[in-house]
Amino acid sequence: MSDTVKLQDAANGRAPAPSRQILALGVIAVLAALLPLVASDYQLRFVAEILIVGAAVLSLDLLVGYGGLVSLGHATLFGGAAYAAAVASRSLGADLTLMVGIGTLTGMVMAFITGIVVMRTIALFFLILTLIVGQIFWEIAFHWRDVTGGADGMRGLPTLSLNLGVTKLDLSSSFALYVTAAVLAFAAWAVARSFVNAPIGRALIGTRERQLRMSALGYDIARIRMMALLASGAIAGAAGSLYPFVNQYIGPNSMQWTFSAMMVVMLVIGGVGSLYGAFIGTAVYLGIQTYISSYTDRWQLVVGLIFVLTVMIMPRGIVHGVGSLFGGKGKQ
Amino acid sequence: MSGDLLRIENVGIAFGGLKVLTDVNLTVKQGETMGLIGPNGAGKTTLFNIVTGFLSPSHGEVVFEGNRITQTRTAQRVRMGIVRTFQKSMVFPDLSVMENLALALRARTHGYAWWRSGAALAAADAKALEILRKAGMADRAGRVVSSMSYGDQRIVDVLISLAMEPKLLLLDEPTAGLSKAEGEHLIEVIRTLCGNTSLVLVAHDLDIVFAVCDRVAVLDLGRMIACDTPDGIRAHEGAQAAYLGKGKEAVQ
Amino acid sequence: MTMKDAITRRRLIAAGGATAFAGMLGAPLIAKAANGSLRIGMVTSLSGPFAGLGEAMRDGIVMALEEYGNEIAGRRIELIVEDDQAKPDEGVRKFRKLIGQDNVDIVSGVISSAVALAVRDVVTEAEALTFISAGSANALARDAASPLVFRPTKTNWMLGHTAGLWAAEKISKTGCLTIGADYAAGREYIGDFVETYTAQGGAVGQQLWAPLGTTDFGPLLTAIASVQPEFIYSFFAGSDAVRFLRQMKDYRLHEKVKVLGGGALFDQEDVIATVKDAALGGLNTCNQSPTAPASQAFSAAYLARRGVLPGEMGTAGYVTAQVIKAALERVGGDVAAKDQLKENLLALPVDTVFGPMSFDPRNNQAILDIYVNEITESADGPVNQVIHTYQGVQDPGPTA
Amino acid sequence: MSFYLVQILNALSFSMLLMLTGLGLSVVLSLLNFVNLTHGSSFLLGAYVSIWWLGSGAPWWLAFPVAFLASALAGLVLERFPFRQFYTRTHLMQVLLTYGLSVIFADLMRWGFGAQIASPELPEILSGVIFVFDMPFPIYRLFIIVFGAVLALALWFVIDRTIWGAVVRACVTDRRFVETLGLDTKRIFTIVVAVAAGLGGLSGALGAGVLSAYPGLDEEQLILALIVVVVGGLGTFRGTVLSALLLGFTMTFTKVWIPEMSNVAALAIMALMLVIAPQGLVARKVRQV
């Protein structure tokens, strides 16, 4: 029990003083604005990918960090929405608002289906059942060749654009994709944050810590978890809808359980229950995978070691680990 | 039978072959404080679980304010006014005292709200503060519960339940693990705050039960063997044999 | 200076200053190639299900470059190898990195068809000179063909088609059963085989599919045992192929039923070296054979270097270097003249260890000799022995 | 007729493989309440060790005990550090730690044993077939069925029917009580983890004859084992056997009847089981309040 507490007490999110928060946001905004000046096209696109995957990991944090529900099927929500957007874009064109709308909706529908199946389970049972449900979705995508392209996936997608009524903005450049991803990431963070700070978010924490007491207080546990799943699915879906257009490709890998497991790893490295840690974890993981692997075949060893050390030394993730080094904020 | 808040009629339950409760009848009147005693394994907590809907009885009915609620879901029963506490402390350790109470107060109205309506929430919070003031804990409203003493945690535990404004409050060994003084203080807080609420109190400390309760019911091996005033119970032979007669070792 | 040295040198440069983070933000130290040297990027699978194949491919290209003294058309060659884990998303990221950050002049590699298709739009948009070493999806020769993407290897059709011809002519026109891995490549192999075979008057009986990554073929083999077909046409790759052949032997079916397979099913290094005599008697259509005349010298060198005869991927890595060499020499090392390079490469065939290779001007797809191999016993254990050669097999291309 | 008989044998042998894979995981979960995801690594290690042994020319039957010992030794080391620190942590933390370790081991084994697929050279005595009427069935699979059944029975006997089993079970419920009996609980925990890892290695050695060994097999087996154990009901012995049979028969017969949908069908049935019985097929009664 004490682990859940250690791992997740950041989840209670007693927000830091507003002024400090505004300062932090400001610094991030300035850095984000400066990035395109120094980064190459490739790097901007890489950052865009981090932001998109990071948003999906953040949505997983709603479940893991606040609901205590570790899902191994989260990639399906992300990948399913990505497929839906890619399929729709072929006939409807890739308008940004349309794509995000379709993705969000798909994410929520898939979360709803998953939710109905997994609602009564917790802990390891929840972990395995989400894995199974996710793999069923994956099998469908993998075998529905006419629509999804099967194992080969889909390519040749139209480029992303934004219809502003008077003009149509082309979003295919790395810079445009970066800006789009950044806006999405910020929106995802803001929505998730408002969710956890609202009564529903507090109630979600309640179900994580004292499920019985929550039912004794008259809360409907299943309903709270379902709402968390829906919110999480909506964010993951919105993020997923951009993914095919950043990669110019979407394939069954982005729905597989291994991707779900990778998301959990990213989340834990970054810090469970902090929301923004999701982005840091994603950056660390993708950074290692992309850069270390150029120098050694043993990059998986590096990822594994970092992950195990994180779990053993700072189970609350890099965000808190570094925080306690500098500000002593780790202990209350 | 006006004035009857809760009626338990012929309730029985078995787990596998094990009969945990057999034909239990019990009536709790409006405003009454009822003690429920019996050795370990007598079925006290199981009875609570049936009244609150955590378990369904194999047979028999639970009637609350004249309505049959045997099949009603827990959440619904809570809204009708049946609230319980647990043997183990069931506070939310990582939330502040205030937030613990707020969770309870919001359960009925704003529990699922995402976009908050500030005024309503503020009203709920004001009410939480009011309760804390009555319990003499207003100064600790911002403390994280896990950092408080166990005695205080148990008080918060009970306050959470009282904040629900129950008509019937089931207290499952609220004083377990507390010192004599702490236990008495807790009972004091309950009596101050409960108003017209009917109480059912399970406790191993018989002194407290006999001091506080209007009537006392005795369960043994899943059967209700007596239900009477404290004096009546003291004189009851069956109860003596089943419980008191065995002396304190049954109570530890 | 060997290629391995070049890689080590890179590592030193990295240790010297470019930390991962600096690499992320500009990578100034390795941004520009040293003057006059030429950078080749190769993306292959060094982890995940194709790791063994990827290592072979990497060794193949390194081997060739070492033979060239690390110099082609008077320019020093620097090779950068990246891992795609056999995941398309990862492949896309690595191709972007090679092109956008490492500023390579040529990109190459890829084992999985899915990765090859996934990166198609990326390299096309970047107008990068691309040589796909092994990803053999038919689509890349057809609607997904791209002006600067060359494919010095077969398409799935070329193997399925020739197997169909061979089966109808030399094995039997009846009693055929197909069994394949249920994913894109398996569907293409089996589909193309069936099309040609039936066009040649053959009749296909039962068609079985096994999910990708099937561990237990028992139920399907029992089904085969009860049907008792004349011969089987089959496509599996990697661990699936090993398990299929071994379990065929476990059920004593390898003695009773002829197995005709496509490429990867009887891959010399990946499969036969592992299953050994369980492969004996099998027939295989493939663009590569360790016993093909063009491959003799290479096979010996490869055996000496790695202790096994080369399979398709080791050879593909080597061939990639051969084709790149031919292309560069025909423009005097001027890699910037992409149109000229393409024109010259398409003009004349290249001699490779696959055999003579010319390119189809419609889609830059190699036109290849396809070997029919029979797995027979030899001094080095069971080996793919060429028993027939279909010369100059050309994919139907964009018209299909 | 003989077709279905052999298919039933196929299903049985595959179920036994699943059960063997799940057993070690199940033992640690039921006895120590510890989730050990390095189990897949033990499996692969055992597979590699036995393949190496069978290829070395030494007496073939020793391959199995050797694989057992190798994995058990690895388990022994792991138990000292870092498992021991995680017994009292949540399942979630145990999952994270051991998953991370399994990633490390996967890469180490890839390093040590190479990326190529490896298959064992089975001894003559195990590589024949028997004929059920006219249908062939490999002797090796019969060997797996018999071996698996014997092992399962033996394990059940030790855990359920002997004093040792009782002592270990008592350890989880109340460690201090066992220590007052003069037994070293630390040592008991070590032995259980080592034996469970050894079981993983043993099943890997047995499985290699059917599955071969290659990087990634560890993860594939781990997932199957997890599904079997969890659907069975966390670490109840009967549950593991039941769900292994359920999964084995489903996967076999869906491959016979609807091969293209066999994975979906098998997954759907396992999901259905968890929906119907959210605590697993054989749930341990736990008092909630």
The per-residue pLDDT for range C298-323, each reduced to its tens digit, is: 999 999 999 999 999 999 999 999 99
> If you count them, how many residues does chain A have?
332
Using a threshold of 3 CB pairs under 8 A, tell whether chains D and B touch.
yes
List of residues 6+ apart from D176 with CB closer than 8 A: none
Distance of CA A228 to the CA centre of its chain: 14
For residue D200, give the amino acid letter.
G
Contacts of D174 (CB under 8 A, 6+ apart): none
State the 10-residue block means of pLDDT for chain D, 289 residues long.
88 92 88 89 95 88 92 93 85 89 93 88 84 87 92 86 79 73 82 93 92 90 92 84 93 88 90 89 61
pLDDT in tens, C83-96: 998 899 999 999 99
Q: Are residues C144 and C230 in the same domain?
A: no
For chain B, how far is it from start to end, CA to CA, in angstroms?
Answer: 39
Contact state of D14 with C216 under an 8 Å Cβ cutoff: yes
Compute φ and ψ for C378, nearest 5 degrees.
Answer: -145, 180
pLDDT score for D285: 55
The ranges of chain A with pLDDT < 70 are 1-18, 321-332
Buried b (16+ CB within 10 A) or exposed e, D10-36: bbbbbbbbbbbbbbbbbbbbbbbebbb
Token pair in block for residue B95: 């939330």
Please give the mean pLDDT across all residues of chain B.
Answer: 82
Q: Does residue C140 form part of some domain?
A: yes
**Other CB atoms within 10 Å distance of the CB of residue A84:** 24
Token duo for residue D121: 């050279």
Within-domain flag for C72:
yes
Q: Do B137 and B157 form a contact (C-beta atoms < 8 A)?
A: no
DSSP A17: P
Q: Which of C286, C310, C327 is the last residue of a domain?
A: C286
pLDDT, residue D280, reads 83
Q: Are C99 and C118 in the same domain?
A: yes
Distance set, CA C278 to CA B218, C246, C247, C271, D124 (Å): 77, 6, 9, 10, 14
| Least confident span in B13-17, C68-72, D1-5, D78-82 | B13-17
β-partners of residue B27 are: B7
User: How far, in Å, CA of B10 to CA of B22, rounded?
Assistant: 8
Please count the structural domains in chain C. 2
The domains found in chain B, sorted by start residue, are 4-94+144-251 (3.40.50.300)
C53 plus C120 within the same structural domain: yes
Per DSSP, A160 falls in state P
Would you state the pLDDT for residue C15?
38
Task: For B24-74, write each residue's pLDDT tens digit.
Answer: 898 998 888 899 888 877 888 888 888 988 888 888 889 998 888 888 888
Mutation site, A300, A306, A314, interface D, largest D CB count within 10 A: A300
Name the architecture of domain A4-29+43-325.
Orthogonal Bundle (1.10)
Phi, psi (rounded to 5 degrees) for C225: -60, -35
Q: Which residues of A touch B113 (CB under 8 A)?
A: 198-200
List, in sequence order, every residue forming a beta bridge with D131; answer none if it has no partner.
D136
Q: Indicate yes or no: CB of A200 within 8 angstroms of CB of B111.
A: yes
- Binary contact (D289, B88; C-beta < 8 A): yes
Point out which residues pair with C233 in neighbouring strands: C178, C260
- Cβ contact, residue pair B83, A8, below 8 Å: no
Please list, in sequence order, all residues whose beta carbon lies within 8 angstroms of the beta carbon of residue C115, skipping any fewer than 6 positions away: C43, C45, C84, C86, C87, C88, C91, C135
For residue A4, what pLDDT is reported?
A: 38
- In this prediction, residue A8 carries a pLDDT of 37
CA C145/CA C247 separation, integer angstroms: 39
Please give the residue of chain D at the shortest CA–CA distance from B86.
D289
β pairing state of B168-172 and B198-202: parallel
Which domain, by its residues, includes C186?
157-286
How do the domains of chain A map onto residue ranges?
A: 4-29+43-325
Nearest to D216 among C49, C182, C226 (CB): C49
Neighbours of chain A (3+ CB pairs under 8 A): B, C, D
Assign C288 to helix, strand or coil: coil
C11 and C133 share one domain: yes
Do C252 and C169 lie in one domain? The reply is: yes
Sheet with B18-29, side-by-side order of all strands: B18-29, B4-15, B59-64, B67-68
Q: What is the pLDDT of residue A106?
A: 97
DSSP 8-state class, residue A159: P
Torsion angles phi and psi, residue C273, rounded to 5: -60, -25
**Cα distances (Å, whole numbers) of residue D275 to A219, B172, D264:** 22, 32, 16
Interchain touch C–B (≥3 Cβ pairs closer than 8 Å): no
Vertex C233 angle, CA C231 and C237, to 5° = 135
Task: Give the closest-approach CA distance of C182 to chain D in angstroms.
Answer: 7
Mean pLDDT of C323-332: 93
DSSP B220: E
B170-213 pLDDT, tens digit per residue, is: 988 888 888 888 888 888 888 888 878 889 988 888 888 888 88
Three-state DSSP class for residue B12 = strand
C139 and C161 fall within a common domain? no
- Indicate whether C239 and C188 sit together in one domain: yes
Neighbours of B130 (CB within 10 A): 13
- How far apart, in whole angstroms, are the C-alpha atoms of residue B40 and residue C52? 64
Nearest by Cα to B45 from B165, B202, B185: B202
Mean pLDDT, chain C, as a whole number?
87
Co-location of C8 and C56 in the same domain: yes
Chain C: give the shortest CA distance to residue D9, in Å. Answer: 9
Structure tokens at A105: 């909706």
Whole-angstrom distance, CA of residue C323 vs CA of residue D207: 43
Residue C122 to residue A46, Cβ atoms within 8 A: no
Residue A273 has a pLDDT of 86
Instruction: Kindly report the number of other CB atoms within 10 A of residue B241's CB atom.
Output: 12
- The CB density around residue C203, as the number of other CB atoms within 10 Å, is 12
Q: CA dist D106 to B232, C86, D138, Å?
A: 72, 17, 31
Same domain assignment for residues C184 and C277: yes
Residue C8 belongs to a domain: yes
In the three-class reduction of DSSP (H, G, I as helix; E, B as strand; rest coil), residue A72 is classed as: coil
Q: How far is C26 from chain D (nearest CA, A)?
A: 30
Cα–Cα dist C333/C166, whole Å: 42
φ, ψ at D73 (rounded to 5°): -65, -45
Shortest distance, CA D251 to any CA of chain C (angstroms)? 9
> Which amino acid is it at C7?
I
Domain CATH code at residue C246: 3.40.50.2300
Residue B250 DSSP symbol: G
Residue A15 pLDDT: 45
Q: Does residue C44 sit within a domain?
A: yes
> Quick one: pLDDT at residue C10?
42
Residues C108 and C178 in one domain: no
Which residues does B108 contact at the CB level (< 8 Å), separation at least 6? A218, B79, B164
What six digits make up the tokens of B120? 């309503």
List, in order, residues 6 or more apart from B207 with CB less than 8 Å away.
none
Judgement on whether residues C123 and C250 belong to the same structural domain of the protein: no
Nearest to C160 by CA among C115, C133, C194, C126: C194
Residue B80 scores a pLDDT above 50: yes
Residue C24 to residue A253, Cβ atoms within 8 A: no
What does the alpha-carbon distance between residue C38 and residue B161 come to, in Å, rounded to a whole number? 76
D230: nearest CB among A70, A124, A301: A124
Task: Give which of C314, C344, C347 is closest to C332, Cα–Cα.
Answer: C344
SS3 C84: coil
Examine the domain organization and report whether C131 and C109 are in the same domain: yes
Tokens of A285: 């993981």
Q: In sequence order, which residues have a C-beta less than 8 Å from that of residue A110 and are 6 or more positions away?
A: A76, A77, A80, A81, A137, A233, A237
Residue B233: what pLDDT?
Answer: 82
CA atoms within 13 A on the CB side of D102: 28
> How far, in Å, CA of C304 to CA of C316, rounded?
18
For residue D85, the chain A residue with the least C-alpha distance is A312
Q: Which residues of C touch A56 (CB under 8 A)?
A: none
Closest by CA position to D117, among listed D44, D58, D67, D57: D44
At residue C208 the predicted structure's pLDDT band, cuts being 50, 70 and 90, is: very high
Q: For the range C330-333, what are the long-range contacts, defined as Cβ-Cβ under 8 Å and sequence gap of 24 or more? A: C331/C73, C332/C73, C332/C74, C333/C38, C333/C72, C333/C73, C333/C74, C333/C75
Check CB contact of D289 with chain B, cutoff 8 Å: yes
* Assigned domain for C386 exists: no
Closest CA to C255 of C235, C282, C237: C282
3-state secondary structure chain D: CHHHHHHHHHHHHHHHHHHHHHHHHHHHHHHHCCCCCCHHHHHHHHHHHHHHHHHHCCCHHHHHHHHHHHHHHHHHHHHHCCHHHHCCCCHHHHHHHHHHHHHHHHHHHHHHHCCCCECCCCCHHHCCEEEECCEEEEHHHHHHHHHHHHHHHHHHHHHHHCHHHHHHHHHHHCHHHHHHCCCCHHHHHHHHHHHHHHHHHHHHHHHHHHHCECCCHHHHHHHHHHHHHHHHCCCCHHHHHHHHHHHHHHHHHHHHHCHHHHHHHHHHHHHHHHHHCCCCCCCCCCCCC
List, as ranges, residues 55-94 from B with C-beta within 8 Å of A. 74-75, 77-79, 83-86, 90-94
Q: Does residue B219 have a pLDDT over 50?
A: yes
From D153's Cα to the closest Cα of chain A, the distance in A is 27
Cβ neighbour number for residue D176 with a 10 Å cutoff: 7
Which pairing describes strands B215-220 and C355-360: parallel, antiparallel, or unpaired? unpaired
Cα D92 versus chain centre, distance: 21
Helix (H, G, I), strand (E, B) or coil at B14: strand
